[in-house]
Structure 1
Amino acid sequence: MAIKRFDHTGIVVEDLPAAIAFFVELGMEFEGQATVEGGWADKLIGLEGVRSDIAMLKTPDGHGRVEVSRIHTPAATGSAPWEPVNTPGIPRLTFVVDDVDDSFARLRPHGAVLVGEVARYEDIYKYAYVRGPAGVIVGLVEELS
């Protein structure tokens, strides 16, 4: 048995329209939105009475997708982790962008906050981590050569 392909990454958020706007500003394409509920959803995520709104976004090359979801019921029992980057299990999404500084400037009004500083790795990459929707860490990589 082998993996056929990577399909998508999912992120649960509190504000679905804001998360959609964040990823669209980053350059992802909005694919669509739907409400998910019923017995199959309950079985899938191991909770009862699930009702969730989900949105799918894809990268311009069509190979990467992000699902953002707002789960209305049942109510969450905790909040998103805002742990440092070195904490095991903390999700991190990384995107290659045309310009790190411009991308961060466009994402800042959508709540993006730098985790550290914008850094250069030799003459190869310019790289930054920002906090995005629900505190997820989003890497922005600019290829310099």
Structure 2
Amino acid sequence: MFRYVHTNIIAKDASKLISFYKDVFHCKSINEARNLRGGWVDRLTGLHQVHITGEHLLLPGYGEDHPTLEIFSYDTLKEAVPAEINRPGLAHLAFEVDDVEETLMKVISKGGSRVGELITAEYPNGLEAVFVYAKDPEGNIVELQSWRQRKEAASK
């Protein structure tokens, strides 16, 4: 069996970031909080005397237990590398939302920020999409998107 299970974010403050993703993106607690330490965690991570805390949050729009957004924090953190949209590696998380502008305002009101401009792009078959990149309170990039029929296509 193969299936996508989760994406992990390492947070400076896991509880604050967990609250942000619950409030803004409707992620849900599914009773999968973690308080991990011990030899097996040290061997898994390659770190010594590691302690990891956090929670798995159910992503909106899918099953009742997966996929999840895993938000963890380590007692000892490395210096963060600023998130850039064109940096190699995991670039961003994307959420389809009802209203991009409204969700962006909520991101900002909860401690996040906008990255670039909010744009509307035309796609084939009379579709258009509204996009914007934002950052969560810890600087992780999140894409907000909304899809709809173009007004002129819908009136034909």
With the shorter chain as reference, the TM-score category is 0.7 to 0.9
Amino acid at match of 1:34: R
Find the aligned partners of 1:115 and 1:57 in 2 and give their Cα distance: 25
| Matching residue of 1:131 | 135
Partner of 2:82: 82
Aligned to 2:154: none
Structure 1 spans left out of the alignment, 5+ residues:
none
Q: TM-score, normalised by structure 2?
A: 0.82
Match of residue 144, structure 1, among 143, 148, 154: 148
**What is the identity, as a one-letter code, of the residue corresponding to 1:15?**
D
* Secondary structure, counterpart of 1:144 in structure 2: strand
Distance 1:65 1:36 in 2: 18
Gaps of 5+ in 2: 150-156
Shift of 1:91: 3.0
- The answer on whether the counterparts of 1:21 and 1:110 sit within 8 Å (CA) in structure 2 is no
| Aligned residue-pair number | 140
DSSP 3-state at the match of 1:124: strand
1:28-43 equivalences under 5 Å are: 28-32=27-31, 33-43=33-43
| Partners of 2:90 and 2:82 in 1: CA distance | 9
Tell me the TM-score normalised to structure 1 length. Answer: 0.88
Structure number with larger C-alpha Rg: 2
Report the Cα distance in structure 2 between the residues aligned to 1:119 and 1:88, rounded to whole angstroms. Answer: 24
